[in-house]
Amino acid sequence: MVESLKRNEKISRRGPVVLVIMDGVGFGKYKEGDAVAAAMTKNLDKLFSISPWTKLKAHGLAVGLPSDADMGNSEVGHNAMGAGRVFAQGAKLVSNAIASGDMYKGAAWQKLIGNVKSKDSTLHFIGLLSDGNVHSHIDHLKAMVAEAKKEGVRKVRVHALLDGRDVGEVSALDYFDPFAQYLAELSADGTFDAKIASGGGRMVITMDRYNADWNMVRKGWETHVLGEGRQFSSAHEAIETLRKETGAIDQDLPPFVIAEDGKPVGTINDGDSVILYNFRGDRAIELSRAFDEPDFKEFDRKRWPKVEYAGMMEYDGDLHIPHQYLVSPPAIDRVMAEYLCATGVKQFSISETQKFGHVTYFFNGNRSGMFDSKLEEYVEIPSDKVPFEQRPWMKCAEITDRVIAEIESGKWDFIKLNYPNGDMVGHTGVFEAVVCSMEGMDLQIGRLKDAIDKAGGVMVITADHGNADDMYEHAKNGDVKCYDDGEPKAKTSHSLNPVPCIIYDPEYKGEYSKELNEGLGISSIPATCMELMGYVPPADYDKSIINLN
């Protein structure tokens, strides 16, 4: 339990503090491809002109990732914004556990390796094959396959998902071809047999989140576990063929099965061991449930092999999903919401399905459920199940409708919401759609401003990382990379750019300086919001963006 916060005796407002998280909206480095700058955002432009604002770091070391070369993401961003401090995150934890050898000494790894050795069965790896370092890293996989061989495992099969989202949109062969060669070299001495067994685009199979589309997980199960689906002789052949037939970018490629003489090379069977090597939780929970739950009902598994299954990490600490995992997640404690509940602060959290878990689970330090149901309310607006470029406004109007109603109700002291537009539409790579998504979101921010004016509240506008601000691939000299036909190469991954923090306070009375602190990260958001609500933040929270007078 945490202690209640003390009043700062400085700030008091009639209305609530409203935290608006514009997911995936940063300050672009280049004019070309910056869909945020290209959009007509009259309301944001006005807020920038009349309000104090600054830029915040939202990537790399500022959110607990291994280096400043690592892009931020929605998971670590919301962790930082909820915790008020920076914790070492998934990628860094896993890299350290592998480098030190601690992961291989752990009970889960030893159990899974011992299982396949004692039964002369197969060790399977499932996950995203890239170096995006958001959900997984290919170096982690390569290290584990090499260690498995070293420890006497004889047969390994890899079920590899195409990225094209955290890395270049058609970069899959840059990872699949060298990795296939790597496996072939490990297998060359005849004592070891390692192959790619299946695959597909990450937005088509396996990696659904927040129960948005269990059909994706069903397709993944049928592909990876049952070996059902279109067969190819190699992953290279599958990727090239499916690209030509569909015109799809990597994340949207259909599933495929690698076969020899018409027989899949890597179905998952009784006695095998399976490792889901993604370290990020949101897109790993559903497949983990399919492997772990005896009474699973989300889809017909057809066959449920008796395997030893482990995730790279524990993806849900409250529900203990999965039952076994290789590396313990960061122990994020004393988060903002817990302090506010201990202080009696009434809180309302809302987003649509795609980011609902971010303003609840991730914001609360990877914790499911509320700290105090009498003081909190969570609302999820169901997302459309269509490609986001076809509905780029997403559910920002519906989210805003509800937030305005809650502001007018006078029930809440703190409201937080996430507009997913910049991130989810940004990942499609469709520039025009991203511009549309920004303009749709801007209209809603204008509506929120009017509600804040009437209620006498404060609106803090920020983001968890960049994306929409960097929609084209650029060369080192800054030039846009183009296809042969002159069309710019779309960038579908997050950016390394800073994000905004605007403080709109229509009833400002001079309690703090309008010269905001600079050089801070998004982990400074909690201390800032606490001070704006009239409280003294915990002493070890990262510095507030405002300076009280």
Question: Angle, nearest 10°, between helix axes 138-150 and 90-100?
Answer: 30
66 falls in which pLDDT band (50, 70, 90)? confident
**What is the distance of C-alpha 513 from the center of its chain?**
34
Query: Per-residue pLDDT averaged across 391-401, rounded?
Result: 98
Domains 17-88+332-532 and 91-327 share a fold: no
Query: Per-residue pLDDT averaged across 407-430, rounded?
Result: 97
Sheet containing strand 376-381, edge to edge, reads: 53-56, 499-504, 458-462, 17-22, 414-419, 347-352, 376-381
203 falls in which pLDDT band (50, 70, 90)? very high
Query: Per-residue pLDDT averaged across 385-408, rounded?
Result: 97
The 8-class DSSP code of residue 531 comes to: H
Evaluate if residue 210 carries a pLDDT over 80: no
Q: Which residue has the higher pLDDT, 20 or 330?
A: 20
Measured CA to CA in angstroms, residue 155 lies from 7, 141, 148, 191, 272 at distances of 62, 15, 9, 9, 10
**What is the distance of C-alpha 45 from the center of its chain?**
28
Evaluate if residue 316 carries a pLDDT over 90: no
Supply the pLDDT for residue 320.
83
Nearest by Cα to 383 from 549, 213, 157: 213
Say whether 381 sits in a helix, a strand or coil.
Answer: strand
Domain limits, the chain: 17-88+332-532, 91-327
Supply the pLDDT for residue 404.
98
Q: What is the pLDDT of residues 16-45, one digit of tens each?
A: 999 999 999 999 999 999 999 999 999 999
Q: What is the pLDDT of residues 98-128, one digit of tens each?
A: 999 999 999 999 999 999 999 999 999 999 9
Let me know: does 314 contact 322? Beta carbons within 8 Å. yes
| Mean of per-residue pLDDT scores for the chain | 96
Q: What is the pTM of this model?
A: 0.77
Tell me, what amino acid is at 466? G
Characterize the bridge pairing of strands 17-22 and 499-504: unpaired
Instruction: Name the fold adopted by 17-88+332-532.
Output: Alkaline Phosphatase, subunit A (3.40.720)
317 falls in which pLDDT band (50, 70, 90)? low
CATH class of segment(s) 91-327 = alpha beta
Question: Angle, nearest 10°, between helix axes 42-50 and 431-455?
Answer: 50
What contacts 123, CB < 8 A, 6 or more positions away?
Answer: 112, 113, 116, 148, 153, 155, 156, 157, 272, 273, 274, 275
Catalytic residues: 74
Let me know: does 488 contact 482? Beta carbons within 8 Å. yes
Say whether 234 sits in a helix, a strand or coil.
Answer: coil
As a whole number of angstroms, the distance between CA 532 and CA 17 comes to 7
**CB neighbourhood size of 432 (10 A):** 12
Q: Could you list the beta-strand ranges (E) of 85-242.
A: 123-128, 155-162, 193-201, 231-232
Evaluate if residue 318 carries a pLDDT over 70: no
**CB neighbourhood size of 306 (10 A):** 9
As a whole number of angstroms, the distance between CA 229 and CA 220 comes to 10
Supply the pLDDT for residue 70.
81
